[in-house]
Structure 1
Amino acid sequence: MKIVSIKLKNYRLFESFEITNIPAFCVVIGANGTGKSTLFDIFGFLRDALKNNIRQALQVRGGYKEVVTRGKEGEDIEIELQFRMTIVNKERLVTYSLIIGEINNRPVVKREILRYKRGEHGSPYHFLDFKLGKGYAITNEENFDKTDEELEREKQELESQDILAIKGLGQFQRFKAASGFRSLIENWHVSDFHISEARGSKDALYAEHLSPTGDNMAVVAQYIYQEHRDIFEKILSKMKERVPGVSHVEAKNTEDGRLILRFQDQAFKDPFIDRYVSDGTMKMFAYLILLFDPKPHPLLCVEEPENQLYPSLLRELAEEFANYADRGGQVFVSTHSPDFLNAVPLESIFWLNKKQGITQISRAVNDENLKALIEAGDLPGFLWNQGWFEGVTP
């Protein structure tokens, strides 16, 4: 499953915004304040709305009036994602549309639609369509031998007008598109890694995936070591290549039943516990755990991975993100680092800039000057430093 386009209206800086032909590895650059974090926040917003409801997802962002574009307070917020997913052994382009507004100063879901084409011709069919908490979903969408008129609608009424229909219907396999999209949201990873939370002893709870903040890194490292020893050895091998001196990493049980990471340095007899290890070492280990997850996330979002990392490591890290995408995941990265950008193919690069206060997006591969310079042997990061990306300064 892969997101191929995002369309936004009145979501913070994005009064009217669309990004199309999104590659599996997507890197976004832009000056401060152009909306890189806001673009990635769309994924976090949908995840929060699915976990709770629209009202709570807005509240943690300051409320409806803080999220809607300034000057558009009386208008609706619109989010549309197009993604490809396999339905009945065929890849189909599915569109999810969400319109959020206010009624009596309370946020509500005014419209929620899932649609895709059943055949080669005709308009996309609505397999889920809700307005203000009431609507329907198709229960036999896989019966492609049926005509549109023969599809069976199941009417539903949600408990509240601020709940997403895919939250409930997505639990049931008979609603294929809804179930698939819900699974995508539940399993994507929007990184909010904090080194301070990754350090120190942790309760020895079970966890298979790195949390967004990285606070369960020791637990996940132990899980991979115990259940996927070959993958752990690959992570350790990468650590030895990237961080000079590191010869071994282990998740060690303490006497009180907690876990702590210990790093062995070749120059010393005894290993260091993680609070004595550099920020860069901790962050590189976290990225390797994330990128070599035995059950990869369908989508990763990582902001400014270059922080705390030595510049020479960034090219290899960019290549690891690209390899993750090649293995079937999708990766969104924002960066301020020309060194990181030098390792990114031109077709993966998008840049944001502001014109008259409105954020716009451009794709590097569509710029003929950039294409010609890259073909002549230049690198994207160097061109960025030289000002070839209009409206962007590193």
Structure 2
Amino acid sequence: MAKIEGIRVKNFRALKDISLGRLWNQQQSEPLTPMTVVIGKNGVGKSTLFDVFGFLADALKFGVEEACDLRGRGGFEKIRSQVQAGAIEFEIYYKEDGNARPITYEIAIDADNSGRPFVQKERLRQRRKNQSWGRPFSFLILANGKGVAWKGESEGVDETNADNDLDRWLESFYKEESKETEVVELSDKRKLGIATLGSLKQHPRISLFRQFIEGWYLSYFEPNSARSLPLAGPQKHLNIKGDNIGNVVQFMEREHKDRFKKVLERIAKKIPGVDKIDTEKTADGRLLLRFNDKGFQDPFYAQQMSDGTLKVFAYLLLLEDPVPPPFLCIEEPENGLYHKLLETLAKEFREHATGRKGGSQVFITTHQPYLVDALEPNEVWILEKCADGFSTIRRASDDELVKNMVEEGLPLGGLWYSDYLDAR
């Protein structure tokens, strides 16, 4: 399954310039782990980092102008770092599978003279076979909605001199297409090139990357939404708010009946106080979730359960998806949960992310030490705000003292609570 090895963010709110993991030009850095957790105090930018993935997913689906306004972002000028005049930039370094050559996706978003955001630059590149160093070769380059794409599995082009004057460099390709190249001009430069080209059969690498982003799952779970009683109709996957839990249950019971029964039994053992979980069919064909609480003869329905119980059930059900998303992003899963549940939940996420069957890569933000207690230093990134108001980020394992203390048996969350993870 595809995996993000590194990401760089520039000029996105408090994230003026941060990098996590390995990039094409930072090969000495360790890649992101299957489960990555970002910690930090309130106001340091954890929600902003979470929203990086939400923004990219929205930009692919709706275009950059609408993405700047969605989810209360407030428009381009609100999300561009203050007093910065440059473009908002994102860089993702990922692999389609463990043996694949990594691919880098770069996008720069700026505002035109009327203040409307547009895609200033977009690029996909990959090193050639047996190429272990040097600049990767691009197979998609767009500047202001116009550029060149390399078809099929061809290797792309060396653009060492392109950064000096990208528009002029691209002109050499506009004169004549070849068997390998295709001149591209988008009708709307506010849309991503990968959105259009990724739907074409002649661009398989672009298509795979588009599918990768489309498959991301960002959890905006709302317990009240999960208590709603949706219309009957099976659905394969849990949606971002969790208000279709009943539909997912209906699908799993219909398509994976034996497995689903075991899933419910397994989940029931992990939720304190719950002895059994089963379903009840309504007259109109819907399935109601029933939670049998220890000590009570009659079951409780999902509409009567606590926020924490519903949340744990939703997360565990998500991890049991027969076709899990490639990338699972969760903001502050601890909200509403008993603190002793967090270590169990962290272990469930790690087991899913590192499983032999290739589960989702998991990305979590938190400010709960009890969850961090279950983590290893290389899984944890510390986000901090500097005196200039912008954030920096570093890996806990980069601190030898912290690594040694964890190796001696001290829990990482306890070290964080005692300020040992603060910058020195």
Same fold (TM over 0.5): yes
- 2: CA distance, partners of 1:109 / 1:265: 53
Same amino acid, percent of matched pairs: 41
CA RMSD of aligned residues (A): 2.1
Partner of 1:374: 406
* Alignment map for 1:24-43 (pairs within 5 Å): 24-43=34-53
CA contact (8 A) 1:202 1:260 kept: no
Partner of 2:170: none
Moved more, 240-249 or 352-361: 240-249
1:210-232 per-position Cα deviation (integer Å, ceiling 9, x unaligned): 10100101110121122223442
Partner of 2:397: 365
* CA positional deviation for 1:156: 1.9
- Count residues with an aligned counterpart: 387
- 1: CA distance, partners of 2:208 / 2:392: 30
1:138 aligns with 2:150: yes
1:285 aligns with 2:313: yes
CA contact (8 A) 1:219 1:251 kept: no
* CA positional deviation for 1:265: 2.6
1:158 aligns with 2:158: no
CA contact (8 A) 2:328 2:363 kept: yes
1:50 aligns with 2:78: no
Partner of 1:23: 33
- 2: CA distance, partners of 1:32 / 1:229: 43
* CA positional deviation for 1:363: 0.4
SS in structure 1 opposite 2:82? coil
What TM-score does the superposition give when structure 1 sets the normalisation length? 0.93
1:250-285 per-position Cα deviation (integer Å, ceiling 9, x unaligned): 343433454432222343332222121122211111
User: Of 62, 76, 84, which residue of structure 1 is paired with 2:87?
Assistant: 76
1:385 aligns with 2:417: yes
1:346 aligns with 2:346: no
1:92-144 per-position Cα deviation (integer Å, ceiling 9, x unaligned): 1100000101112111101000000122235311111111111221113x256
Partner of 2:15: 14
CA contact (8 A) 1:203 1:259 kept: no
SS in structure 2 opposite 1:215? coil
CA contact (8 A) 1:202 1:259 kept: no
* CA positional deviation for 1:46: 0.9
- 1: CA distance, partners of 2:61 / 2:246: 26
* CA positional deviation for 1:168: 1.0
Q: Which amino acid aligns with 1:38?
A: T
CA contact (8 A) 2:233 2:250 kept: no
Q: Which amino acid aligns with 2:399?
A: D
Moved more, 273-282 or 260-269: 260-269
* Alignment map for 1:289-304 (pairs within 5 Å): 289-304=317-332
Partner of 1:62: 74
Partner of 1:213: 241
Partner of 1:330: 361
Moved more, 110-119 or 200-209: 200-209
User: Of 122, 125, 142, which residue of structure 2 is paired with 1:112?
Assistant: 122
* CA positional deviation for 1:383: 0.6
CA contact (8 A) 2:4 2:32 kept: yes
- 1: CA distance, partners of 2:227 / 2:342: 23
Q: Which amino acid aligns with 2:88?
A: I
Q: More strand per residue: 1 or 2? A: 1
* CA positional deviation for 1:233: 3.1
1:91 aligns with 2:92: no
SS in structure 2 opposite 1:19? strand
- Going from structure 1 to structure 2, the CA distance change for 1:391 and 1:174 (only over 3 Å counts) comes to same
- 2: CA distance, partners of 1:151 / 1:379: 58
Moved more, 308-317 or 296-305: 308-317
- 1: CA distance, partners of 2:349 / 2:272: 21
SS in structure 2 opposite 1:92? coil
- 2: CA distance, partners of 1:237 / 1:340: 24
Q: Which amino acid aligns with 1:170?
A: G
- 2: CA distance, partners of 1:268 / 1:180: 50
What TM-score does the superposition give when structure 2 sets the normalisation length? 0.87
- Going from structure 1 to structure 2, the CA distance change for 1:129 and 1:157 (only over 3 Å counts) comes to same
- Going from structure 1 to structure 2, the CA distance change for 1:249 and 1:4 (only over 3 Å counts) comes to same
- 1: CA distance, partners of 2:34 / 2:119: 30
Stretches of structure 2 that go unaligned for 5 or more consecutive residues are 22-30, 159-172
- 1: CA distance, partners of 2:261 / 2:278: 11
1:345-391 per-position Cα deviation (integer Å, ceiling 9, x unaligned): 11101110111222000101110110111111101011111110115
Partner of 2:166: none
- 2: CA distance, partners of 1:128 / 1:234: 46
Q: Which amino acid aligns with 1:317?
A: L
1:173 aligns with 2:201: yes
* CA positional deviation for 1:154: 1.1
